[in-house]
Amino acid sequence: MASILILAEHLGGTLNPATARCVTAAHQIGGDIDILVLAADPAAVATDAAAIEGVRKVLTVARAENQHALAAVYAPQVVAAVQAGGYSHLLAPSTTFGKDVLPRAAALLGVAQVSDISAVDGAHSFKRPIYAGNAIISVEAPADQVLVGTVRTASYAAASSGANAAPVEALALDVALPTHTRFVDLHQGRSDRPDLQSAARVVSGGRALGSADNFAIIHALADKLGAAVGASRAAVDAGYVPNELQVGQTGKIIAPELYMAIGISGAIQHLTGIKDAGTIVAINKDAEAPIFEIADYGLVGDLFKLVPELTAAL
């Protein structure tokens, strides 16, 4: 039977919901599911992790060096935890965090990582998107090695939370940590709006907005809907919004219940980021725009007229 260790993603003492999505993927693999929290003070995150349904136990490593999530510092501890617990699987979300830490852990374990798991076919067989989501490949990993995998969080709902109270155990790992990488500073966009990656509703604007000032109409609609704001790469490259708002192949992969694409043509690299969205609404003045091929609802017209009307109506 599989025994699965999930590396918790957290920031500022709060567990990222991506971790609970990993738990859902782990349920499909089957077996015991434990969560590893590395932090300077892991107590609050560990309590959140212990509440996730289906988690057997939470392991914590409290070290001052774990104050900030540095992949070079985390990876040897993760590997030591995997080896100490004899785990068959190590998972983390396929977010910037997971993509940073897990390849290092895989390298230290001497195994190849399975990236971006979007479906579980068996304990060592998975599906994952390739060619910007244009094709799905089946991957068979060796069963005699630790399976290291990142989970495409947009493909999994978060495991429910609250009913569980798994035991929390402090791990004492004797691991020498590298000093060649150190934390300097964290520059983070500040916003009162929901987080783009976990928001239930997202309103995105494209090149058609024409300027950063014009993006105000996207913000106004988003605020009416309680939605996060996203953007196409063209809008980001033009400097209308910061790059952490980019949705798509080289941006965020998201799965909101409602996605509104406004003045966005629907290039394949953008659509890759919203493949798992629930309802897709498009506003575009070109009735032939490819976005209408995947939209559930489409409005053909000038966004500068339609969006303020929609916002007012809401």
Ligand X SMILES: Cc1cc2nc3c(=O)[nH]c(=O)nc-3n(C[C@H](O)[C@H](O)[C@H](O)COP(=O)(O)OP(=O)(O)OC[C@H]3O[C@@H](n4cnc5c(N)ncnc54)[C@H](O)[C@@H]3O)c2cc1C
Q: Which residues bind ligand X (CB under 6 A)?
A: 206-208, 232-235, 246-251, 263-265, 267, 269-270, 273, 283-286, 289, 302-304
Structure-block tokens of residue 149: 């995998």
Structure-block tokens of residue 259: 């996605």
- Indicate the residue among 166 and 264 with the shorter CB distance to ligand X: 264
Nearest approach, Cβ of 78 to ligand X (angstroms)?
29
- Indicate the residue among 168 and 267 with the shorter CB distance to ligand X: 267
- Indicate the residue among 44 and 267 with the shorter CB distance to ligand X: 267
Q: What residue ranges in the chain does DSSP mark as E strands?
A: 3-7, 10-11, 14-15, 32-39, 57-62, 89-93, 114-117, 119-120, 125-130, 135-140, 147-151, 168-170, 201-205, 228-231, 258-262, 279-284, 297-300
* Residue at 271: amino acid letter: L
Partner residues linked to 280 by β-bridges: 259
Nearest approach, Cβ of 270 to ligand X (angstroms)?
3
Nearest approach, Cβ of 286 to ligand X (angstroms)?
4
Main-chain phi, psi angles of 4, to 5 degrees: -115, 130
Q: Is 170 left (phi over 0), alpha (psi -120 to 50) or beta?
A: beta
Nearest approach, Cβ of 9 to ligand X (angstroms)?
21
Give the relative orientation of helices 303-313 and 216-225 as an angle to the nearest 10 degrees: 30
Nearest approach, Cβ of 244 to ligand X (angstroms)?
12
- Indicate the residue among 80 and 304 with the shorter CB distance to ligand X: 304
- Indicate the residue among 172 and 287 with the shorter CB distance to ligand X: 287
The number of helices, as runs of H, and strands, as runs of E, in the chain is 9, 17
Nearest approach, Cβ of 229 to ligand X (angstroms)?
14
Evaluate the CA torsion angle 105, 109, 114, 119 in order and state its sign.
negative
- Indicate the residue among 30 and 189 with the shorter CB distance to ligand X: 189
Proportion of the chain in helix, strand, coil states, percent, rounded to 5: 35, 25, 40
Q: How far apart are CA 284 and CA 74, in angstroms?
A: 45
Nearest approach, Cβ of 216 to ligand X (angstroms)?
15
Q: Which residue lies nearest ligand X, judged by its C-beta?
A: 248
- Indicate the residue among 121 and 309 with the shorter CB distance to ligand X: 309
